[in-house]
Amino acid sequence: MPQSVRPEPAAPLRLLQRPVCLLCLEAEWVLAQAGIDQFQRVDIERDPALEERYGIRIPLLIDAAGRELDWPFDPAAVEDWLAAAQ
């Protein structure tokens, strides 16, 4: 049975998170389940502007075009979100 091939994003995805965040760890697990191992972890606590803008919305996935995928998401939602960008 052939495997489905998901196109890789044009640039790395960014996962906005906090250092001690169980939901953020779960989001990383969801990305792994979706076959995504290339993404940038962004600690919003290191950037006051990100902290102010996204403080209660983490974890949050952002693609190269600036599209945002709010938590909660599962592997299928991530795949659908990535496919919609194509």
Inter-residue contact 28 to 58 (CB < 8 Å) = no
Q: What is the DSSP letter of 2?
A: P
pTM as predicted: 0.83
Percentage of residues in the chain having pLDDT higher than 90: 83
State how far the Cα of 76 lies from the Cα of 19, in Å rounded to an integer.
26
pLDDT in tens, 20-37: 999 999 999 999 999 999
Tell whether the model's pLDDT for residue 19 goes beyond 50: yes
pLDDT at 12: 85
